[in-house]
Structure formats: structure tokens, C-alpha cells
Amino acid sequence: MVSSFCFAIVHGVSQGIPQIIYTFILGMIWSYLVVKTGNIKLSIILHSLSNLFGSIIIQLLQGISMEALGIYSMFMMLLGIIGLICFIKNKKNIVLDNQNKLCDKNILKDIFTNKGIIVYIMLTITIIILKNVL
């Protein structure tokens, strides 16, 4: 969870606050895969595919046709909605640390009351604000 949070915050600096939510969710999924499989290779492949579909193809389509970009964007949103529905329907099947819940409230409290995380968040927010103001 902490690594997903840090992953999301770092992306927020370069790509804005809405990107934080998106990358946090992806980070949680990829972290879960590493925990469940004991191997980081699948997460690396998925991260590469995410960059391909979320950045490279979009940039290529912008140079070709805005209509094609619009169709591609709608298709990607549809896939995201389908994925979210599947996640919600199957969230009871996700098991971490022999618990059928994604995160313990005490763990969340420990994370967000940690002085290092608080400093990290404050510095990141400051950089985001400065980047947008300057």
C-alpha cells in the first residue's frame, strides 16, 4: 500500500492530481500481483503495457486523427468501466494476509500518521503547486 501511494504521488508531480488516483489504483493492483505471485515480472509487463496504451498510442493518434483518438479514448474508458465492475463483483475473492479485505484500518492509520509520509506528501503537493504556478 505504501509503495502504491508513493508511486501515485510521484506521478502526480509530473502529470497532475487526477493522475494520483489512477496510478494509486494501478499500483495497488500491481502490488497485489507481486504479493500473490512472488514475482515482479508480471507487474513490470503490465506497467509497460499501461504506458503503451495510456501514453504512446495516444500521442501517435493525436498526430493522425482526433476522431481516431476520440474513438480510442471511448474504448479505453469502456474497458476501465468493465474492469471496475468486475473488481467490485469479485472483491470478496481478494485475499491478502489471510484476510478478505484490502486493508486494515490500523495499517492506513499508521501510513498516514507516519512523519515521513506526511513530509513526502507536503513536498509533493508543494512541487505540484509550484509547477502549476510557475
CB under 8 Å to 28, separation ≥6 — which residues? 1, 4, 102
**Per-residue pLDDT tens digits for 80-120:** 788 778 777 877 766 666 665 556 677 667 766 777 777 77
pLDDT digits (tens, 9 = 90+) for 45-90: 888 888 888 788 888 888 888 888 888 888 888 887 887 787 778 7
**pLDDT of the residue at 99:** 61
Tell me the pTM. Answer: 0.58
Return d(Cα 52, Cα 76) in angstroms, integer: 12
Under 8 Å between Cβ of 57 and 72: yes
pLDDT tens for each residue of 29-40: 888 888 888 888
| Three-state DSSP string of 2-41 | HHHHHHHHHHHHHHCHHHHHHHHHHHHHHHHHHHHHCCCH
